[in-house]
């Protein structure tokens, strides 16, 4: 027995994992005869909302970024209208790995609790949430997982997600994500740090190498419209959420995470931060132990980090017209190492049917 007459799933997905999870859930709902609408929320455009006379179950699926929900999903939830239904569920995809025969799980942090709280404030009740450990797409950190391993990780996750879908569609409550709550709360300061600062820094680490042929696919497909042409070369704005869609899907493998440049930026940022903080303490006579200063200094340091990263990135973008510099940036990037795979397994496995069912 189902309690709803329709299922709406809103998803954002860099490399297809959240889309795949949404598809599995939609298939289970379809089998139960529910009208099912699966909606990608790229650029927060053209989004279909449930009709006023419907009794929908509403789901949200999104990747975990920096131990939190993808920022675009948080924005979408914050602006989500009230009163479109009563019950919602959440699915966060995480970085699944496999070491020998052992499946390694990702870490959720605030990626379930925060969205559940935001939607609760809007009058929705979360009847289920579930982390799903699909293959990690964080390619600047590690080379893409091999196809065989990807397949075995996906084969492990599929029954898990379908079981979850069947339970919630039958009206049962499933709070599987609560198992790791103590660890999630422990790492919540890192979630906050990533959300307020880290993600802006990461957005300034992407560059297009000389292999780029200006096909424009990265610009067209970016879910936050964060890539633009500056001097005829792709340029990443601060709004980039590092979802990895561009880096993983570039047909020329021309998009790199510039590790060398990022390391240089970090040295400069730490040096400037230390000097500014000491100077402020000395010149304003601040008590470094004061709680308000401890908090305020974090924001000052984040602001300095974002400003320095943005300025250096802009300078480098122009300076990379100079070939030796371009080569230096490229050859100090781990992603440029031959054999550093991308994760685009699911790109070619897009369903033939369009999202709306
Ligand atoms: C910038 C970035 C941050 C990430 N942070 C986390 C994290 O905190 N915890 C985790 O388990 N996975 C993390 N991941 C991995 C992704 O959440 C994971 O691969 C997810 O399944 C990708 O889903 P998608 O293909 O729908 O975008 C991160 C990936 C990226 C690119």
Residue 59, pLDDT score? 97
Length of the chain in terms of residues written: 357
pTM, whole model, 2 decimals? 0.94
What is the tens place of the pLDDT at every residue in 273-285?
A: 999 999 999 999 9
Residue with the nearest Cα to atom 9 of ligand 1? 107
Phi-psi sector, 171: left (phi>0), alpha (psi -120 to 50), beta? left
What mean pLDDT is predicted for residues 182-204?
A: 94
SS3 assignment, position 279: helix
Question: Which of 262, 260, 247, 19 is closest to 138 using CA atoms?
Answer: 247
200 lines ligand 1 (CB under 6 A): no
Look at strands 206-208 and 255-257 and give their pairing: antiparallel
Convert the pLDDT of each residue in 301-353 to its tens digit: 999 999 999 999 999 999 998 899 999 999 999 999 999 999 988 877 766 55
Q: Which of 16, 21, 130, 136 to mutate to test the pocket of ligand 1 (most atoms within 8 A of CB)?
A: 136
CA–chain centroid gap for 201, Å, is 14
Q: What is the DSSP string of 100-142?
A: TTEEEP---TTTTHHHHHHHHHTT-EEEEEEEE-PBP--TTTS
- The residue nearest atom 3 of ligand 1, judged by CA position, is 65
Q: Is the CB of 144 under 6 A from ligand 1?
A: no
**Helix H or strand E segment including 208:** strand 206-208
Give SS3 for 54. Answer: coil
User: pLDDT at position 207, please?
Assistant: 96
Model confidence at 241: pLDDT above 70:
yes
Question: What local confidence, expressed as pLDDT, does residue 357 receive?
Answer: 46
Given CA atoms 198, 203, 204, 210 in this order, what sign does their dihedral have? positive
Pocket test for ligand 1, best of 138, 156, 348 (most atoms within 8 A of CB): 138
Q: Is 216 helix (H, G, I), strand (E, B) or coil?
A: coil
Percent of the chain topping pLDDT 70: 97
List, in order of start, the domains of the chain with CATH numbers.
6-187 (3.40.50.360), 197-336 (3.30.70.20)
Residue 355 has pLDDT above 60, yes or no: no
Higher pLDDT, 53 or 314: 314
- pLDDT of the residue at 2: 60
The strand pair at 56-63 and 102-104 is best described as: unpaired
| Cβ atoms 57, 27 nearer than 8 A | no
What pLDDT, in 10s, does the model give residues 145-192? 999 999 999 999 999 999 999 999 998 999 887 888 999 999 999 999
Written as six digits, the tokens of 180 are: 């790791």
């Amino acid at each position: 027995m189902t309690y709803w007459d329709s299922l709406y799933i809103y998803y954002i997905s860099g490399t297809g994992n959240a889309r795949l999870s949404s598809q599995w859930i939609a298939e289970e709902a379809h089998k139960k005869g529910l009208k099912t609408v699966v909606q990608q929320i790229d650029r927060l455009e053209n989004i279909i909302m449930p009709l006023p006379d419907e009794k929908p179950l509403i789901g949200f699926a999104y990747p975990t970024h920096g131990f939190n929900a993808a920022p675009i999903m948080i924005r979408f939830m914050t602006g989500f209208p009230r009163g479109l239904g009563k019950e919602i569920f959440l699915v966060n995809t995480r970085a699944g790995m496999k070491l020998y025969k052992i499946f390694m799980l990702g870490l959720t942090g605030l990626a379930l609790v925060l969205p559940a709280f935001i939607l609760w404030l809007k009058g929705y009740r979360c009847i289920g949430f579930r982390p799903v450990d699909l293959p990690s797409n964080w390619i600047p950190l590690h080379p893409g997982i091999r196809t065989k391993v990807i397949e075995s990780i996906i084969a492990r996750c599929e029954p898990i997600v379908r079981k979850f879908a069947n339970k919630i569609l039958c009206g049962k409550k499933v709070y599987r994500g609560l198992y790791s709550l103590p660890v999630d709360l422990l790492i919540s300061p890192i979630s906050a740090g990533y959300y307020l600062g880290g993600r802006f820094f990461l957005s300034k680490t992407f560059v297009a190498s000389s292999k780029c042929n200006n096909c424009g696919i990265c610009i067209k497909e970016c879910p936050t419209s964060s890539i633009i042409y500056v001097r005829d070369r792709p340029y990443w704005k601060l709004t980039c959420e590092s979802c990895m869609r561009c880096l993983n899907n570039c047909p020329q493998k021309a998009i790199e995470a510039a590790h060398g440049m990022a390391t240089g930026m970090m040295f400069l940022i730490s040096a400037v931060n230390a000097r500014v903080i000491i100077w402020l303490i000395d010149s304003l006579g601040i008590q470094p132990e004061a709680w308000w200063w401890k908090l305020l200094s974090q924001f000052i340091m984040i602001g300095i980090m974002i400003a320095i990263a943005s300025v250096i990135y802009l300078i480098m973008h122009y300076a990379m017209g100079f070939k030796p510099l371009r080569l230096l940036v490229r050859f100090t990037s781990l992603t440029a190492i031959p054999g550093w795979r991308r994760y685009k397994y699911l790109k070619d496995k897009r369903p033939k049917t369009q999202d709306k069912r």
